[in-house]
A = this chain, B = another copy of it.
Amino acid sequence: MSKLKMPSGELRVATAGIDLIDEALISQQVIPTSTHWRPPSEPGLASILSNIALSSAVRVANQAALERLTSARPHLIGITTALEAVGLETGCFLHAGPPIQWQNTSGPLRGALIGAALLEGVADSPEDAMGKFERGEFHMEPCHHRGAVGPMAGVVSSSMPMSIIEDSVTGRRAYCTLNEGLGKVLRYGAYSTEVLERLRWIEKVLAPVLHETIYASEPIDLYAMVGEALQMGDECHNRNRAGTSLFLRAIGPLLIESKHASSTVAECFRFITGNDHFFLNLMMPAAKVAADAARNIPGSTMIVAMARNGTEFGIQLSGTGDEWFTGPCGVPQGLLFPGFTAEDANPDIGDSTITETVGVGGFAMASAPAIVKFVGGTSDLALDSSRRMYDITIGEHPLFRLPALDFRGTPVGIDAALVVRRNQLPVVNTGIAGREAGVGQVGAGLVDPPVKCFVDAVARFAELNKTLIQSA
């Protein structure tokens, strides 16, 4: 054994892993350079993860997937019905998240399905609707399977208006309903008369006015608005005040020139300006069309969908086709509205995690310190949330930049293998739905996805790509 030499000169220490070592060093006046390393989530996958990390084929595939994800330029080109948009017949219902059976649905999804059945006139009462869903008389399918996305319950039925988002690069399209506003709304599982009347007004009044306005306009460049909104305090998932403002600025002159009665058009403007989340339902399909462009690249471990049905959280990888990998939904932690307690909160629900999938939402939290107030956090937590996401992403977004991080591109392209290897879950911002059908929104906050879905996805990827990753 050679004699131990003490270091001479200035002591510089790099650390990896638990904070204890950092703290011990700092107490001795040595400031370490620390990294975020943690042991993998699943020790059993260690050699697989190592092979994936070393595989140049995976690296090339992930770069290709990222390139497609970030080069999309989604534009709003019009409004149509779900029947026209995605061929949704009466008696068929889309919902958020991975596939689910009626028996397993949580309160808010159940409430929204009941409301949609009443809206379409295929049920006479909530009890009638429940009976028909139970007996399998209605068809249920994820939004994601029809090129669509839906916030919270994400329920879509045949007559509902949907925005048409077209990627000008690929010509691909995606769809989403129009945002209904806050409080008691279908997407949070409320289905009272007031809720259904608002949905009918959206169909009969708002949708035609908006469609003609958008049709009279050049296609509306949504990613330009997202890029700008990130400079204006939005993270484009749980805060959309700037996005909604920019959208209203874009369509304002066209609304003024609308052929509809000015009192009707003013009512539409007031509806949109009264709801700072209006832009979320435009951003989500914009994100969907970008994520879909990155699907089906063999050898890619990049996530192309993350979605929750209120019971299970599911993800899809570019390199594993249409297969869903799922785990149980967590309950979001955050700010509950007055009169509600943690008991009232439903597990995580909605397709809105498509925003995190394309590099905004929780990943862009550094742009929106107002969001961390929900969880009693500080502006440092906002910065740190974004910074940690660079550890699990493939690159930085060329259009979406974070002013508070000196205009660095947002972390984008979640690599499921990195999530497991670095044991670092994606940060998700979300609204919180009431647990009971019919209650509506009870708060907003942050939630951790289940580790299981990432572990399962990586295991399946490795199984499908044995040759590819063993040749590394």
Asked whether any CB of chain B lies closer than 8 Å to the CB of A17, the reply is no
Q: What does the 1/0 interface line of A406-424 toward B look like (CB < 8 Å)?
A: 1100000000000000000
Say if the beta carbon of A443 comes within 8 Å of chain B: no
Residues on the B chain within 8 Å of A406, using CB: 369, 378-379
> Which A residues, 364 to 417, have Cβ-Cβ distances below 8 Å to chain B?
369-370, 373, 378-379, 403-407
A260 to chain B, nearest CB (A): 10
Judged by a CB distance under 8 angstroms, whether A87 is at the interface is no
A269 and B256 contacting across the interface, CB-CB below 8 Å = yes
| Interface membership of A253, Cβ < 8 A | yes
Q: Flag A241-285 by CB within 8 Å of B: 1 or 0 each.
A: 110011011001111110000110110011001000000000000
Q: In the docked arrangement, what's the CA distance between A368 and B265, Å?
A: 34
Shortest Cβ distance from residue A244 to the other chain B in the assembled complex, whole angstroms: 8
Kindly name the residue among A246, A252, A370, A407 whose own CB sees the greatest number of chain B CB atoms within 10 A. A252
Compute how far the CA of A405 lies from the CA of B252 in the bound complex, rounded to whole angstroms.
34
Q: Contact at B248–A246, with CB atoms within 8 Å?
A: no
Cβ of A241: which chain B residues have Cβ within 8 Å of it? 228, 232
Number of copies of this protein chain within its complex = 2
Q: For the complex, give the distance between the alpha carbons of A266 and B131 in Å.
A: 52
A30 touches B (CB below 8 Å)? yes
Q: Could you tell me if B266 and A403 are in contact, using CB atoms closer than 8 angstroms? A: no
Give the bracket for the number of chain A residues in contact with chain B: 35 or more
Q: Is the CB of A253 within 8 A of B266?
A: yes
Q: How far is the CA of A31 from the CA of B257 in the complex (A)?
A: 63
Identify which of residues 220-249 in chain A touch chain B, using a CB-to-CB cut-off of 8 Å. Answer: 228, 231-234, 241-242, 245-246, 248-249
With A30-B29, A231-B370 as given contacts, are A269 and B253 in contact (CB-CB < 8 Å)? Answer: yes
Which residue of the partner chain, among B242, B266, B270, contacts A232 with CB atoms under 8 Å? B242
Question: How far does the Cβ of A174 sit from chain B's closest Cβ, in whole Å?
Answer: 26
Asked if A253 contacts B232 (CB within 8 A), the reply is no
* Complex CA–CA separation, A242 to B373 (angstroms): 21
Q: Which of A7-38 contact B (CB under 8 A)?
A: 29-31
Q: How far is the CB of A400 from chain B (nearest CB, A)?
A: 14
The distance from the CB of A254 to the nearest CB of chain B, in whole angstroms, is 8
**CA of A200 to CA of B31, assembled, Å:** 64
Q: Across the interface, do A370 and B403 meet the contact criterion of CB distance under 8 Å?
A: yes
12 contacts between A and B (CB under 8 A): A29-B30, A231-B370, A232-B232, A232-B241, A232-B245, A233-B233, A245-B245, A245-B249, A253-B266, A256-B256, A256-B265, A369-B403
Query: Assuming A233-B233, A252-B273, A256-B256, what are 4 further A-B pairs, CB within 8 angstroms?
Result: A233-B403, A253-B273, A257-B262, A379-B406
